[in-house]
Amino acid sequence: MPRLSVNIDHIATIRQARRGDEPDPVAAAVLAELAGADGIIVHLREDRRHIQDRDLRLARQVVRTKLNLEMAATDEMQRIALDVKPDIVTLVPEKREELTTEGGLEVFARVEAVKKFVGPIQDAGIPASLFVDPDKQQISAAKKAGALWVEIHTGAYANAKNEQERNKEYGKIVESAQLAASLGLRVGAGHGLNYVNVKAIVRIREVEELNIGHSIISRASLVGIGRAVRDMIELIKT
Ligand code: PXP
């Protein structure tokens, strides 16, 4: 059974709609943990559109489970990660105009650059995860770059227009997870997972962790975050 990490970025999105101080994503982190989440994820974007530096620093103080800092591979973010010391760093590509993280990180064409970036982070005792498409070349490259984890991008599976396409994308995730595990990488998965499509991903034995944000926060807006997290845990763990 995979563990569940909850991405709280969209609590901050609601707050930033008014540039005020509520709702507080750090309060959401505490409530998600109390409801049984195994980890909390924040994505500190270069443009600070949702999570702010203050949120990350406070989350570092209050999160008792596992704090995953999602970030782009920039010098600024590397400095912040080394200073705040999250429990894990996930490297994602970042484009200013995108609504959310669109594709996986290009590791295959940039193995040496990624290795150089990941080195100081892992030397500081912070494991690095690379968010990659379900593509064997990218998975093998992640191993070569020295990362300890990969997070397999489930977006294409989640957004598939029909069953045939969904099955094809699912197959890629299964094969990528198997390859990653056989190389000794630890495996997470996420993006676009919801209360309907998560079940099939749970069945992939190699996937240790699911990283889910939008669907949980959407449900939380209607039923409360405790219930939304518990509902997801029930799907994952039964
Ligand atoms: N994993 C990564 C690397 C992401 O960038 C995101 C989106 O911030 C997620 C998981 C969660 O995706 P969603 O919000 O669609 O559940």
Nearest to 217 by CA among 18, 21, 37: 37
- Which residues pair with residue 112 across a beta bridge? none
* Domains defined along the chain, listed by start: 3-237 (3.20.20.70)
How is residue 206 annotated by DSSP? T
| 43 labelled catalytic | yes
Would you write out the chain's pLDDT as a tens digit for each of its 238 residues?
899 999 999 999 999 999 999 999 999 999 999 999 999 999 999 999 999 999 999 999 999 999 999 999 999 999 999 999 999 999 999 775 666 667 899 999 999 999 999 999 999 999 999 999 999 999 999 999 999 999 999 999 999 999 999 999 999 999 999 999 999 999 999 999 999 999 999 999 999 999 999 999 999 999 999 999 999 999 998 7
Rounded distance, CA 39 to CA 41, Å? 7
CB 44 within 8 A of CB 71: yes
CB 132 within 8 A of CB 138: yes
Report the pocket of ligand 1 as residue ranges, CB < 6 Å.
7, 9, 43, 70, 90, 92, 100-101, 131, 151, 190-193, 211-215
Rounded distance, CA 27 to CA 195, Å? 23
Rounded distance, CA 65 to CA 42, Å? 13
Tell me the whole-structure pTM to 2 decimals: 0.96
Cα 152 to chain centroid distance, Å, stands at 9
Atom of ligand 1 at shortest range from CA of 7: 11
